[in-house]
Structure 1
Amino acid sequence: MTKIKPPVLIIDDDEVDRYILKRLIKEAQLELRIFEKTDGQEALDFLEDYDANKKKYPDEFPPIIIFLDINMPRVNGIQFLNAFAQLRVKIDISTCVIMMFSTSEREEDKANIMGHEFVKDYLVKGAFTSQQLKEKVLKVINSR
């Protein structure tokens, strides 16, 4: 029997930042199915294509955790959160939680973002270890 890997979605326009997060996941020895999107619109399109993705990835969709950057082209992180809140009532993605993954340490950003009940954490890029990431991810996975 094949072990099912919990799915996560990384939304970040910076290829290096996506690589660093994937490396931290690997260092933490987390066996996760990783989807990647380069901006909020691409991610929304991916989530909205629920039926096709559920068929294509039956045990790996929708993602459990979405790692979301703030500063991106087209649809940024804040715009994504607002669209995601509306999308959650239309399709079965209510089990998805968001962990912000951003360079912004602005308190206004944090307060606005953490006001959404589906946002579970705010990770500042470069300010956490693989072990801290592992603890945060396992907490979400084990609470399901």
Structure 2
Amino acid sequence: MARNVWREIGARPAEAFLIVAEIGPDFGGGAREDDPFDTARLRFAANLMVRTCTHSNLRGDFAVQPLREPQALVIHCAVTDAADFAQLREVVGATEIEAGPWRGRCDVLLDEARHERLLAIAGPPDSRGAGRRARVARERESEDPRHWGRI
């Protein structure tokens, strides 16, 4: 299994299977007021899907692409192996629909229950270095007494 960039797999839909995961309103604790474009939830869902693919020990290649559609946040996950598609479809609880140009396609709504299920497979996000980055930012801010906005 190898993770690829979207343009390599997504450009050849006749050779891949597609899982379309729409991010539900309650996924990841829901939308936050300090993130009006839901960037954090979209990034978190994409990373969760990548970790799910990685921890599922897929045999073929895969790619994940987060998208902002007019009324929804969506994650596209393309896989090249039929067995991988069947495995991921079962893992996320997706419903198979008309494939269109793809070899196969399924849709799923990522709600809080699926979020918990995927976290059990994928594990928590890697937060190594988060404390160090916060400490460095605090030190940088405290070094300059003329920091803009400070009184």
Q: Shorter-chain TM-score: which interval?
A: under 0.3
Q: TM-score, normalised by structure 1?
A: 0.26
* Structure having the larger proportion of residues in strand: 2
Decide which structure has the larger Cα Rg and report it. Answer: 2
Q: TM-score, normalised by structure 2?
A: 0.25
Give the number of the structure with larger relative contact order, counting CA–CA contacts within 8 Å between residues 6 or more apart: 2
